Amino acid sequence: MLIEVGPATLVLAGEKGGEVFPFERREIEAYVARILHEIGEALPILRQKAYRIKNMDYLPEPARRMIRAVKAIDEETLTPMAAVAGAVADLVKEHLSSSGEIDLLSVNNGGDISICNRSGRAMTIGIGDIGSRMPTPYVLKVGALRSFGVATSGFGGRSFTLGLADIVSVLADSAALADAAATLIANRTRSEAAGVVRRRARELDPLTDIPDELVTVDRGCLNTEAVVAAVINGKEEAEKLKSAGVIRDAVVILKGYMMHTLDEKSTIKLEVSHGSEENRDRC
């Protein structure tokens, strides 16, 4: 089911007893509208760096979710807006699954996905290319997880990035955490190259929550050295977050070069579903 409320476009999929679950559209739309209204009321707070926010008691639950997620990932550089799409997906998932009537539920909020999988059955999640809006050859095989989130960030996505990565996909215990982590890891995929152009975010969007940050607007033709350096920087940040226990795993891709945090202990496996693993042209 497609749900469109204000700036939010959600795709819902659910099963009960092997059958498609019948969602109540109007009730869901009303709930999403309430979440967005509460976020809107708190925007002056949510547009500042998370470390500045000391007291959350007076804020609505959506705002608190966003702040908690970002503080867990990196409160020094991120604003709570880095977790907004994931937090909305989590709240809708929890709202719809609270009755226990749904066996499998996926709430996809513009690519940030919150999943309830009560059976714990194995799932296959595709990794999409932000720039081309097409699937990549890579899929994540997820087993034994009953509640988790997946988010993807990178150059050409809905939000600004400070880095160069085509794709940063993160799996965490919530979509809010995955959303914030994907943003941070993508931001860390920086390296210097002649064709890279950066501008102050405020020059591109006067209402941005990161007005003074230098965001990437053009990557030019990246050489191999710049590509590898950027991917390594992203992987190192992902490893830190995994070691801290705030994400499960992450995949970083740029111009065909890929690194990830998956190991033999991961409940997630990375597979190639079609095509070739060979690196693409660098430009």
Q: Has residue 27 been placed in a domain?
A: yes
Domain count for the chain, please give it. 1
Q: Is residue 277 part of a domain?
A: no
Residue 281 lies in a domain: no
- Quote the pLDDT of residue 274: 60
pLDDT at 206: 93
* Residue 40 in domain: yes
The domain containing residue 232 runs over which residues?
A: 2-272
What is residue 283's predicted lDDT score, i.e. its pLDDT? 52
pLDDT of the residue at 9 = 93
CATH number for the domain that contains residue 48: 3.10.520.10
In a domain, 100, yes or no: yes
Which pLDDT score is estimated for 277? Answer: 45
Q: Is residue 75 part of a domain?
A: yes
How many Å separate Cα 21 from the centre of its chain? Answer: 25
Q: What share of the chain is helix, strand, coil (3-state, %, to 5)?
A: 35, 30, 40
Residue 26 CA: distances (Å) to CA of 30, 190, 278: 6, 44, 47
The candidate with the shortest Cα–Cα distance to 157, out of 188, 182, 123, 122, is 182
State the Cα–Cα distance between residues 25 and 3, nearest whole angstrom.
8
The answer to whether residue 283 sits within a structural domain is no
The answer as to whether 37 is a domain residue is yes
Q: What tens-digit pLDDT sequence spans the chain (283 residues)?
A: 999 998 899 999 999 988 999 999 999 999 999 999 999 999 999 999 999 999 999 999 999 999 999 999 999 999 999 999 999 999 999 999 988 889 999 999 998 999 999 888 888 888 888 777 778 888 898 987 889 999 999 998 888 999 999 999 999 999 999 999 999 999 999 988 888 999 999 999 999 999 999 999 999 889 999 999 999 999 999 999 999 999 999 999 999 899 999 988 778 888 887 654 444 444 5
Paired tokens of 276: 């070739």
- Report how far Cα 192 is from the mean position of its chain's Cα atoms: 25
What is the pLDDT at residue 17? 87
